[in-house]
């Protein structure tokens, strides 16, 4: 265990090199519950405009925007969930307070204790999610989008950043069951536990892969 961004996380599960191999050739599963989770709630237009002001860019319905260490997730017209690295939590909370406190059109709440986050990264991640959602006819969202869905019979907010990177936001009370279910379903796909160090190193690589995939698609 190590401290990262002010939170205690699993650094690795024995071998960072081995975990990187899992990320590149199969699918890695990682606990990202250290991420802070805030929600802005209120009049849809005000929520949308406030999110654009704070993030510096428009956040479209059904889309995902990641900027400056935070994920902006429009989970409903009147609700914007913000996932952020622990170091940014207080800064964003203060900004939300400044926006919401002078008006009755919005409020904000810290829901970190209510939700857990699970990352799935690797070329087999999409196949794992399709298998986990087969009973509910789950459609995996395209890159840069999110979708409310059910996986292994449990509710989840499924966020897709790149072709290989997914983030699941689930009720904390169901997080362990979700993890165990995904681990079991992914056995034939080479799933493996990965720690913070491997995930951190993988972000550069998956970003490069995403650019390559976009370039090939555009041809």
Identify whether residues 28 and 78 lie together within a single domain.
no
Residue 201, pLDDT score: 62
Identify whether residues 122 and 212 lie together within a single domain.
yes
Identify whether residues 91 and 137 lie together within a single domain.
no
Q: How many folded domains does the chain comprise?
A: 2
Identify whether residues 17 and 119 lie together within a single domain.
yes
Identify whether residues 92 and 60 lie together within a single domain.
yes
Please identify which residue in the block is written with the tokens 């203060």: 94
Is residue 134 classed as helix, strand or coil in its secondary structure? Answer: helix
Residue 197, pLDDT score: 72
Residue 205, pLDDT score: 45
| Tens-digit pLDDT profile for residues 63-84 | 999 887 899 999 999 999 999 9
- Give every CB contact of residue 152 below 8 A, 6+ residues apart in sequence: 132, 133, 177, 178, 181, 182, 185
Identify whether residues 155 and 88 lie together within a single domain.
no
Q: How far apart are CA 211 and CA 200, in angstroms?
A: 18
Identify whether residues 84 and 190 lie together within a single domain.
no
DSSP, res 68: T
Identify whether residues 27 and 54 lie together within a single domain.
no
CATH number, domain containing residue 76: 3.30.70.1520
Residue span of the structural domain in which 20 resides: 2-33+114-218
Report CA dihedral (176, 85, 74, 138) to the nearest 10 degrees.
-30
Identify whether residues 17 and 92 lie together within a single domain.
no
Identify whether residues 129 and 96 lie together within a single domain.
no
CATH number, domain containing residue 214: 3.30.1360.120
Residue 1, pLDDT score: 44
Q: How far apart are CA 166 and CA 116, in angstroms?
A: 14
Identify whether residues 203 and 131 lie together within a single domain.
yes
Work out the mean pLDDT of the chain and round it to a whole number: 85
Looking at 63, 80, 110, the residue that finishes a domain is: 110
108: region left, alpha or beta (phi > 0 left; psi from -120 to 50 alpha) = beta
Tokens standing for 213? 């995939």
Identify whether residues 8 and 101 lie together within a single domain.
no
| Tens-digit pLDDT profile for residues 141-175 | 999 999 999 999 999 999 999 999 999 999 999 99
Looking at 110, 132, 167, the residue that finishes a domain is: 110
Low-confidence ranges of the chain (pLDDT < 70): 1-15, 198-219
Looking at 60, 77, 110, the residue that finishes a domain is: 110
């Amino acid at each position: 265990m190590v401290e990262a961004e002010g939170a205690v996380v699993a650094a690795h599960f024995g071998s960072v090199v081995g975990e990187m191999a899992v990320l590149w050739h199969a699918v890695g599963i990682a606990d990202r519950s250290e991420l802070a989770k805030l929600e802005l709630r209120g009049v849809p237009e005000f929520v949308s405009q406030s999110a654009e002001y704070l993030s510096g860019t428009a956040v479209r319905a059904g889309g995902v925007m990641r900027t400056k260490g935070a994920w902006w997730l429009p989970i409903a017209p009147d609700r914007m969930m913000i996932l952020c690295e622990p170091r940014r939590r207080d800064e964003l909370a203060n900004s939300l307070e400044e926006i919401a406190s002078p008006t009755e059109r919005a409020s904000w709440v810290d829901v970190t204790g209510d939700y857990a986050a699970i990352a799935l990264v690797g070329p087999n991640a999409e196949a794992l999610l399709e298998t986990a959602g087969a009973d509910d006819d789950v459609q995996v969202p395209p890159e840069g989008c999110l979708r409310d869905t059910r996986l292994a019979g449990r509710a989840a907010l499924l966020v897709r950043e790149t072709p290989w990177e997914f983030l699941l936001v689930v009720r904390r009370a169901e997080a362990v069951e979700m993890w165990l279910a995904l681990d079991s379903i992914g056995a034939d796909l080479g799933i493996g536990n990965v720690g913070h160090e491997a995930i951190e190193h993988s972000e550069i690589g998956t970003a490069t892969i995403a650019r390559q995939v976009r370039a090939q698609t555009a041809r």
